[in-house]
Chains A and B, each alone.
Chain A
Amino acid sequence: MTEPLLEVRDLHMHFPMKQGVLQRKTNDVKAVNGVSFTLNKGETLGIVGESGCGKSTLARTLVSLLKPTSGDILFEGESILNYNSKELHALRRNIQMVYQDPYTSLNPRMKAGDIIAAPLKAYNLTTNLKKRVLELMDLVGLKADDYNKLPHQFSGGQRQRIGIARALALNPKLLILDEPVSALDVSVQAQVINLLEDLQEELGLTYLFIAHDLSVIRHISDKVGVMYLGKMMEMSDSESLYKDARHPYTNALLSAIPLPHPGKEKKRERIVLEGELPSPANPPSGCVFHTRCPFATEFCKGNVPAFDLDEKNSSGHYVSCFYPIENK
């Protein structure tokens, strides 16, 4: 099971900013600026980071909606960047995506059944179409008589189930979940996450789970990556990350999770980051986090830390910092 399904190597996605009558290129918005990771079969990789750090752009490059500026994406050991449209069509069967907003990701003029059937029709898998759709609806916990309903007749959680069923229709190997629960109520969040976990077990799926909620990520992920300004700050298996965060940014994020125990919650020390998130068009020099880091030195301003294995922690814990936090 440890075979890599998806490998991302030094991925850059820059959007040119054009200005003036002549549309001269003035600058780049560096939405994803050098991200690497490996995702093994059957695993779940969680990606966290504040809004605007490039999580969704990363997801969109992975499903080939955007062509990355540089870097490489390997799916089952094969680079997908130079695929022609036919190969891309074949690839899309294997990588499917679930979207954040269940209100805009479903066509308001199509019936639930047709929405789920759309990918099957696109690949001419029309034998027993209705049976397959009903099977999928049952799999995600929708009733058979929901088939002819329109999206606006469903609640947010049910709509997200339709979105998941649509993504599962083609039996993909990799499912990219772009904040699938952020738009839902907390109680519904739990249902959808449990559903996702059950499906993973049942169908042997691999997930790339994007979120900004650390507790949700912890619950579902095997590995967690923390992103900041288009760069990966820290990545390790989730246990090690939550217990032993090495990067000051991860540490600050973790300190923001409210604790369920009132006594402990009172004693919880929050690390509040100073300043604003810098613009991805003009990221700070050196370590991108140095403008807000409580431990930054002059050295951090001039040098870019490598995204390296942390020597003191042998369990595959990567960190991009000159002064990682020592064990507490």
Chain B
Amino acid sequence: MLSRKRNLIPFVFLILLFVATITAEWWLPVSPSVMDSGLRLMAPSSENWFGTDHFGRDLFGQTIVAARVSLLVGFTVALLSTVLGTITGLLAGYYKRLDSIIMRIIDGMLAFPSLLLALALVAALGGSVTNIIIALTFSFWPVITRVVRSSVLQVKTIQYVEAAKTSGVKDPVILARYILPNILSPIIVQGTFIFARSILAEAALSFLGVGVEPSIPTWGNMLQESQIYITLAPWFSIFPGIFIVMTVLALNLLGDGLRDAFDPYAKGKKKARKRLFKQKKQYAS
């Protein structure tokens, strides 16, 4: 999968961002938390690559450090909702009786726009990283449940599941060894998209002022603080914005790449194309 450039670039970007943000303290030339009233709202320069904010803090450092919260929230939400969604989806898809109960609850949750649901939950729980993770997981895992359930419904009619049943294999084993391995690809793909969506959602919540406390730098908080200065110091908004866009784009591209890699038909096409190319070469020589 990584042999294709389209997949390699987003992957490398995400790895670099991850490494850069966790090691930020060691290599950043200017500490992002040092205030300097003489350097307020400075334009990008060789000293401050992305300029400075209204307290004179270095924006490059802030943007890099802010990725921590975004990646942490995105990854944890993606992981939790994948695990929860997979469990509920497997049960709903496999057991007909549980299906109507679980899916009605899920439908109810899906009826709320996910951001609105998260907003309400954070408003009720209070804004902190943990609460944001809880709220976003709550609003995103029904999506995974739906995907998993429909895949289970498809796979459980295939004969090897029936064959396992007739040879006395018990249900938990059938779910874990026969069904789950055969539906992993849509789960992983959907998980990547949830990763991207929750980064976006976290930024949106922080921007609206119900996210992470303002003292912690996050992309959403930065955007929120910068909006009054947008005509005065556009770089204050632009750079965090670009980072959100690039991270979300990278994750979406990665998800697309994963989907293609898992899709046997797409692979076949590629092989066929290669074969055709080889043949053409032979004719030419």
Contacts and interface: CB of A to CB of B under 8 A. Distances in A.
Interface residues of B, number: 17
Contacts of A96: 166-167
A104 interface: yes
A92 B166 contact: yes
B100 interface: no
B168 interface: yes
B160 interface: yes
B182 interface: yes
B160 A105 contact: yes
A110 B174 CA distance: 12
A167 B159 contact: no
Contacts of A261: none
B168 A97 contact: no
Contact of A65 (B158, B162, B177, B182): B162
A244 B64 CA distance: 88
Interface in A100-123: 101, 104-110, 118-119, 121-123
Contacts of B167: 92, 96, 118-119, 122, 166-167, 169-170
B177 A110 contact: yes
Nearest to A105: B159
A268 interface: no
Contacts of B274: none
A131 to B, nearest CB: 19
B181 interface: yes
A93 B169 CA distance: 11
Contacts of B173: 121-122
B165 A108 contact: no
A123 B168 contact: yes
B160 A107 contact: yes
Residue in B166, B169, B181 with the greatest tally of chain A CB atoms within 10 Å: B166
A89 B168 contact: yes
Given A107-B182, A109-B182, A92 B159 contact: no
A101 B177 contact: no
B169 A119 contact: yes
Nearest to B173: A122
Contacts of B182: 107-109
A60 B182 CA distance: 24
A106 B168 contact: no
Interface in B152-174: 158-160, 162-170, 173
Contacts of B158: 104
A119 B177 CA distance: 13
Contacts of A60: 162
A63 interface: yes
Contacts of B170: 122
A99 interface: yes
Contacts of B160: 104-108
Contact of B177 (A89, A107, A167): A107
Given A93-B168, A122-B173, A170-B168, A101 B163 contact: no
B178 interface: yes
Nearest to A103: B159
A80 to B, nearest CB: 13
A122 B168 contact: yes
A204 to B, nearest CB: 20
Contacts of A101: 159
Interface in B81-98: none
Nearest to A108: B182
Contacts of A106: 160, 163
Residue in A89, A121, A163, A170 with the greatest tally of chain B CB atoms within 10 Å: A121
B166 A107 contact: no
Nearest to A93: B168
Contacts of B177: 107, 110, 118
Contacts of A163: 163
A169 B178 CA distance: 18
Contacts of A89: 168
A163 B162 CA distance: 13
Contacts of A99: 159, 162-163
7 contacts: A96-B167, A105-B160, A107-B182, A118-B167, A119-B168, A121-B169, A170-B167
Interface of B: 158-160, 162-170, 173, 177-178, 181-182
Given A107-B177, A122-B169, 9 more contacts: A89-B168, A92-B167, A96-B167, A106-B163, A107-B182, A109-B182, A110-B181, A122-B167, A122-B168
The 4 closest A-B pairs by CB, nearest first: A119-B167, A109-B181, A105-B159, A122-B168
